[in-house]
Chain A
Amino acid sequence: MTYIAKPQFHHPGLPKNALGYTRRDYEGAVSTLCAGCGHDSISAAIIQACFDLDIQPHRVAKLSGIGCSSKTPAYFLGNSHGFNTVHGRMPSVLTGANLANRELVYLGVSGDGDSASIGIGQFVHAIRRGVNMVYIVENNGVYGLTKGQFSATADKGSKSKKGASNADTPIDLVMLAMELGATYVARSFSGDKEQLVPLIKGAIAHRGAAFIDVVSPCVAFNNHPGSTKSYDYVRAHNEAVNSLDIISPREEITARYPAGTAAMVTLHDGSQMLLKKLAEDYEPRDKIAAMQFLMKHSAAGQVVTGLLYAEDDSDDLHEHIGTVLAPLNTLGDAELCPGSRALAGINAGLR
């Protein structure tokens, strides 16, 4: 089922990855989002991550719900199949797609409205089931596409563009994902490509439900003073607990870190994940301590970012339900249809 593409002709100067693809082979249609929208930076980070990991673009299936954020799969990986589903229901469609063919990389892109309001049920259950996917929420605290209403991730007391104050308790999708058993949980900021690209790479390399909450300012409706999802606010309150490096199997590890400051983990696909501590007391393998840290710091108005939780020996839905290794969509009559002989036996048992 795997085919290596012949790369198209490009400017000879463009750098190529191990498959011979240039970054352009990972791009999509021209974005129609507002200039400066955080979502576009996330698309760029996805492109970079896939290029760096030498992923064949067509082996990625990109799915989304409805919203500005959910439009973005049209703007990256133009050679991948994409599916813009219905509002809040990307997780179920992705789950079904994943069941049909376990060999592709499944990338789900959603918004905070899409995942924390209308689709929270599906978010919760796809994570619980351990669907092998990269689930990115482009979190701007508002419904961008319907023009700036508060979303369920808007912080209590944060101000709308028109000055209204949000009275409701926010949903922290990171905490929820951890509680629900996501095996890779991260938070980042669309304005911090250095941090975001490796986190996406780690999520792709990870097997199981990987969730990344990316704070992604909406310049049209939620980038003003009083908003806690603005560029300025996040820059001022971003507290990165670690920094990540994903080293593909063929790369050589060159950097040296003082003992105790970095941990190396071999991922499912053979690449190495090098995690460098920034916060002394943060241990992303200790879920309870991590959740405590997150609660404490978010109560203080901090936006904690980095790889927040990871399990090394994770598995996924297919393992839980014991499906065959061959993609279900490749099974033919011989494998699926028991035939007339078996039917005669069934008939005999019904008399």
Chain B
Amino acid sequence: MSLSGSQGSGQPIAPIAAVNDFVVKFANVNGSGSASANLLFAKSILRMGVPIAPRNIFPSNIQGLPTWYELRVSEAGHLGRRGGVDMMVAMNPQTWDKDVQEIEPGGYLFYDCTKPLPSSKFRADVRVIGMPLTGICNERYTDPRQRQLFKNIVYVGALSALIGVELDVVSQLIGEQYKGKEKLLKPNIEALKLGHDWAMANLEPVGLRVVRSDRVGDRIFVEGNAAAALGAVYGGATVCAWYPITPSTSTAEAFMKHCSKLRVDPETGKNRFAIIQAEDEIASIGIVVGAGWNGARAFTCTSGPGISLMQEFIGLAYFAEIPAVIVDVQRGGPSTGMPTRTQQSDILLCAYASHGDTRHVLLFPEDPKECFDFGATSFDLAERLQTPIFLMLDLDIGMNERLCEPFTWDDSRSMDRGKVLHHARLEDGAAFGRYLDVDGDGITWRTYPGAHPTKGSYFTRGTTKDRMARYSEAGPDYIENMTRLQRKFDTAKGLVPGPIIRMAAGPTPVGVLYYGSTAPAMNEALEAFEADGVHIDAIRVRAFPFSAEVEQFIAEHDCVFVVEQNRDSQLRSLLVNELEIDPKRLPPIVHYDGTPITARFIVRTIGAKLGAIAAPERVLGREEARP
């Protein structure tokens, strides 16, 4: 039975031929066990030295709904979503039509041909590869569960044969996965071979090929949430309070896992950490505030709806000056919105969280490596600045495994516990006024409860107080306090991670500003522009408040595109508001359908704007663009 070859009618089209540069998408049913098989396939390619960028596209449901795994293979190391699909592994009849539609002309459709489908279900310009997966598995296995589970491994075996993934590599990964569980190892290897051998005997190879390369180096492959949680361990967090919400849940779960390995006292078996699954997000942040007030490093992780609930406490932490770290893994809002899709839409919510005049420090990691780094640093910042720090992830970074530089740690580094007067200094007669700005940087000294019998105690409150922390309703006390808080925020500018600037090959009045998970798509887009001779300088903002370089970069360009993954160009609003920039000089580029932004989108939209205004050098002359 030969099932390869085109089944549709119409004129043939040249099949896509690509080596180490293509997109395979798996269309599965949620809960069918496909996730680990797909990951296995992806990791095998990685082990062959070829960079990959996988993305889970999943529903807010446990079982039965469609789910996709989009795997980009990119020798060049492009880790953003590319858009388009070269090969669809269509395992879900529910989404068949849409999935088939998505394939690029000349692409491939791999499917389970046990039950024949009418030719109208196929496309003439797509090469169809049928494999009777159900038939093969029904013949080989009697247990219905095994039939389902091994079907996934069987197709991994077949795909490996088709595109040249080395079987030894896949086998080794299975071996690592089932180390010590020999009972499971053997049948998995068998299923892999079953699929592989069937494909070798019955299918023709496709134009998509993986060949060994050396482009991965010592990079690691990890989810941002797990990386941020590891950063919290290295950053000295001891208290975590959280309430489950996608896409942040795996941050708390990872913290739990890391701690159980890294933070158990070897002598007593007791925990050097406390994790509370709270009753809601209000309690989560309350616990964090209480722990921070009492001198422990504490964090919560949540997503937009949780941040909405935390507003009152965030204001308290700002005003009473209590360290706290809040990991916000952003998803599509407003309301329940798109709970399993990605967005950068909590920027303004977090920057100005709570009633009254507030401003908060936000950090924007671009990948898991920075999730780890900023995760650790956020605790230093929180204690140094005595204020909430928001670590702004999103679903794209948080819940997808991403290739990134390995984690590093300088063992000479120690926690910056900030300005704390302990017993000895109080005893030595250090003057203490909780809200007294002795150093002029807006940051005042604090004491921990229980530090000294007669010195250093004070009453913490969300009401206005004077410098000595005494209740006050006096206008001047209030104003002094609020201006000092603003001074402290200015101090933060010099402490937060600065932007990363990337200058084009030639001088240009055009810039682009972006942040967070937009980075890989932007890197690719910038390469494409440069290859076309279009010069665009780029700045990746890594924190709010904006440091002086951000202001300078914008000042040095006539037009700076601000690229974001939300509808309202929220970071742009922040730039306009905080730096008093003429909005006309900051054209917004927004992508907000819930899928990760692509290089194609950036090139198309910015390209169109540049095209529409012709050569940017001429039209956006410096004089003209200046207010």
Determine whether the beta carbon of A350 is less than 8 Å from that of B221. Answer: yes
Please measure, in the bound complex, the distance between the C-alpha atom of A1 and the C-alpha atom of B36, giving whole angstroms: 50
Which of B282, B288, B294, B447 has its CB near the most chain A CB atoms (within 10 A)? Answer: B294
Q: Which residues of B contact A336 (CB under 8 A)?
A: 233, 236, 238, 263, 272, 415
Q: How far is the CB of B474 from chain A (nearest CB, A)?
A: 16
Q: How far is the CB of B136 from chain A (nearest CB, A)?
A: 32
Q: Which residues of A contact B274 (CB under 8 A)?
A: 99, 318, 321, 323, 328
Q: Which of A85, A104, A324 contacts B462 (CB 8 A)?
A: A85
Which of A80, A129, A323, A346 has its CB near the most chain B CB atoms (within 10 A)? Answer: A346
A to B CB contacts below 8 Å, 9 in the list: A3-B453, A61-B294, A79-B454, A81-B447, A94-B290, A99-B238, A122-B279, A323-B270, A328-B274
Please measure, in the bound complex, the distance between the C-alpha atom of A43 and the C-alpha atom of B414, giving whole angstroms: 43
Minimal Cβ-Cβ distance residue in B for A336: B236
Question: Taking A93-B287, A336-B263 as contacts, is the C-beta distance between A101 and B295 under 8 angstroms?
Answer: yes
Asked if A161 is an interface residue, CB under 8 A from chain B, the answer is: no
Determine whether the beta carbon of B454 is less than 8 Å from that of A100. Answer: no
Determine whether the beta carbon of A333 is less than 8 Å from that of B414. Answer: yes
Q: Which residues of A contact B461 (CB under 8 A)?
A: 83-84
User: Looking at the complex, which of B69-77, B405-413, B491-499, B616-624 is the stretch in contact with chain A?
Assistant: B405-413
Scan A65-103; emit 1 where CB is below 8 A from any B CB, else 0.
Answer: 000000001100011111111100101111111111101
Q: Which residues of B contact A335 (CB under 8 A)?
A: 265, 272
Question: Taking A78-B457, A81-B460, A84-B460 as contacts, is the C-beta distance between A321 and B271 under 8 angstroms?
Answer: yes
Q: Which of A4, A57, A99, A328 contacts B287 (CB 8 A)?
A: A99
User: Looking at the complex, which of A145-153, A260-268, A337-345 is the stretch in contact with chain B?
Assistant: A337-345
Q: How far is the CB of B620 from chain A (nearest CB, A)?
A: 45
Determine whether the beta carbon of B276 is less than 8 Å from that of A99. Answer: yes
Q: Which residues of A contact B288 (CB under 8 A)?
A: 96
Determine whether the beta carbon of B239 is less than 8 Å from that of A340. Answer: no
Determine whether the beta carbon of B234 is less than 8 Å from that of A121. Answer: no
Q: Which residues of B contact A250 (CB under 8 A)?
A: none
Q: Which of B46, B268, B272, B452 contacts A328 (CB 8 A)?
A: B272
Asked if B592 is an interface residue, CB under 8 A from chain A, the answer is: no
Minimal Cβ-Cβ distance residue in A for B234: A337
Please measure, in the bound complex, the distance between the C-alpha atom of A83 and the C-alpha atom of B279, giving whole angstroms: 22
* Category for how many chain A residues contact B: 35 or more
Q: Show the binding face of B for A, using Cβ within 8 Å.
A: 46, 218-222, 230, 233-234, 236, 238-239, 241, 262-263, 265, 268-276, 278-280, 282-296, 298, 312-313, 316, 406-411, 414-415, 423, 447-454, 457-463, 471
Q: Which of B410, B452, B454 contacts A8 (CB 8 A)?
A: B454
Minimal Cβ-Cβ distance residue in A for B448: A329
Chain A residues 291-341 with CB under 8 Å of chain B are 318, 321-325, 328-329, 331-333, 335-340
Determine whether the beta carbon of B407 is less than 8 Å from that of A324. Answer: no
Asked if A254 is an interface residue, CB under 8 A from chain B, the answer is: no
Determine whether the beta carbon of B460 is less than 8 Å from that of A79. Answer: no
Q: Which residues of A contact B471 (CB under 8 A)?
A: 74
Q: Which residues of A contact B295 (CB under 8 A)?
A: 100-101, 329
Q: Which residues of A contact B448 (CB under 8 A)?
A: 81, 101, 329
Determine whether the beta carbon of B408 is less than 8 Å from that of A333. Answer: no
The 10 closest A-B pairs by CB, nearest first: A96-B290, A92-B286, A5-B453, A100-B296, A81-B449, A329-B295, A100-B294, A96-B287, A93-B290, A96-B291
Question: Taking A84-B461, A101-B294, A322-B271 as contacts, is the C-beta distance between A125 and B279 under 8 angstroms?
Answer: yes
Q: How far is the CB of A70 from chain B (nearest CB, A)?
A: 10
Please measure, in the bound complex, the distance between the C-alpha atom of A338 and the C-alpha atom of B260, giving whole angstroms: 12
Q: How far is the CB of B593 from chain A (nearest CB, A)?
A: 30
Q: Which residues of B contact A351 (CB under 8 A)?
A: 46, 218-221
Please measure, in the bound complex, the distance between the C-alpha atom of A350 and the C-alpha atom of B223, giving whole angstroms: 10
Determine whether the beta carbon of B457 is less than 8 Å from that of A81. Answer: yes
Determine whether the beta carbon of B450 is less than 8 Å from that of A104. Answer: yes
Please measure, in the bound complex, the distance between the C-alpha atom of A8 and the C-alpha atom of B268, giving whole angstroms: 41
Determine whether the beta carbon of A121 is less than 8 Å from that of B273. Answer: no
Minimal Cβ-Cβ distance residue in B for A349: B220
Asked if A16 is an interface residue, CB under 8 A from chain B, the answer is: no
Please measure, in the bound complex, the distance between the C-alpha atom of A79 and the C-alpha atom of B407, giving whole angstroms: 45
Q: How far is the CB of B231 from chain A (nearest CB, A)?
A: 11
Q: How far is the CB of A121 from chain B (nearest CB, A)?
A: 6
Please measure, in the bound complex, the distance between the C-alpha atom of A246 and the C-alpha atom of B576, giving whole angstroms: 65
Minimal Cβ-Cβ distance residue in B for A77: B457
Q: How far is the CB of A25 from chain B (nearest CB, A)?
A: 9
Determine whether the beta carbon of B271 is less than 8 Å from that of A324. Answer: yes
Please measure, in the bound complex, the distance between the C-alpha atom of A101 and the C-alpha atom of B541, giving whole angstroms: 37
Q: Which residues of A contact B269 (CB under 8 A)?
A: 322
Q: Which residues of B contact A104 (CB under 8 A)?
A: 449-450
Asked if A58 is an interface residue, CB under 8 A from chain B, the answer is: yes
Q: Which of B271, B450, B459 contacts A82 (CB 8 A)?
A: B459
Q: Which of A74, A83, A318, A324 contacts B272 (CB 8 A)?
A: A324
Asked if A56 is an interface residue, CB under 8 A from chain B, the answer is: yes
Determine whether the beta carbon of B296 is less than 8 Å from that of A61. Answer: no
Q: Which residues of B contact A342 (CB under 8 A)?
A: 262
Q: Which residues of A contact B263 (CB under 8 A)?
A: 336, 338
Question: Taking A84-B461, A328-B273 as contacts, is the C-beta distance between A58 and B296 under 8 angstroms?
Answer: no
Q: Which residues of A contact B423 (CB under 8 A)?
A: 3
Q: How far is the CB of B276 from chain A (nearest CB, A)?
A: 7
Question: Taking A94-B290, A100-B291, A351-B221 as contacts, is the C-beta distance between A84 and B459 under 8 angstroms?
Answer: yes
Question: Taking A89-B286, A96-B290, A96-B298 as contacts, is the C-beta distance between A58 and B276 under 8 angstroms?
Answer: no
Chain A residues 196-242 with CB under 8 Å of chain B are none
Question: Taking A324-B270, A328-B272 as contacts, is the C-beta distance between A96 and B409 under 8 angstroms?
Answer: no
Determine whether the beta carbon of A86 is less than 8 Å from that of B290. Answer: no
Determine whether the beta carbon of B462 is less than 8 Å from that of A84. Answer: yes
Question: Taking A79-B457, A333-B415 as contacts, is the C-beta distance between A328 and B238 under 8 angstroms?
Answer: yes
Asked if A59 is an interface residue, CB under 8 A from chain B, the answer is: yes
Q: Which residues of B contact A338 (CB under 8 A)?
A: 233-234, 262-263
Please measure, in the bound complex, the distance between the C-alpha atom of A255 and the C-alpha atom of B313, giving whole angstroms: 50
Question: Taking A84-B462, A100-B296, A347-B220 as contacts, is the C-beta distance between A95 and B414 under 8 angstroms?
Answer: no
Please measure, in the bound complex, the distance between the C-alpha atom of A329 and the C-alpha atom of B407, giving whole angstroms: 26
Q: Which residues of A contact B272 (CB under 8 A)?
A: 323-324, 328, 331, 335-336
Q: Which residues of A contact B415 (CB under 8 A)?
A: 332-333, 336-337
Q: Which of A83, A91, A347 contacts B407 (CB 8 A)?
A: A347
Please measure, in the bound complex, the distance between the C-alpha atom of A74 and the C-alpha atom of B454, giving whole angstroms: 16
Q: How far is the CB of B380 from chain A (nearest CB, A)?
A: 12
Minimal Cβ-Cβ distance residue in B for A4: B453
Q: How far is the CB of B582 from chain A (nearest CB, A)?
A: 40
Please measure, in the bound complex, the distance between the C-alpha atom of A336 and the C-alpha atom of B231, giving whole angstroms: 12
Q: Which residues of B contact A94 (CB under 8 A)?
A: 290
Please measure, in the bound complex, the distance between the C-alpha atom of A6 and the C-alpha atom of B222, giving whole angstroms: 55
Question: Taking A338-B234, A347-B406 as contacts, is the C-beta distance between A97 and B293 under 8 angstroms?
Answer: yes
Q: Which residues of A contact B276 (CB under 8 A)?
A: 95, 99, 129, 321
Question: Taking A3-B452, A101-B295, A340-B408 as contacts, is the C-beta distance between A121 and B283 under 8 angstroms?
Answer: yes
Which of B234, B283, B463 has its CB near the most chain A CB atoms (within 10 A)? Answer: B283
Minimal Cβ-Cβ distance residue in A for B241: A96
Please measure, in the bound complex, the distance between the C-alpha atom of A79 and the C-alpha atom of B292, giving whole angstroms: 20
Q: How far is the CB of A95 from chain B (nearest CB, A)?
A: 5
Please measure, in the bound complex, the distance between the C-alpha atom of A337 and the C-alpha atom of B269, giving whole angstroms: 17
Please measure, in the bound complex, the distance between the C-alpha atom of A103 and the C-alpha atom of B295, giving whole angstroms: 13
Minimal Cβ-Cβ distance residue in A for B284: A92
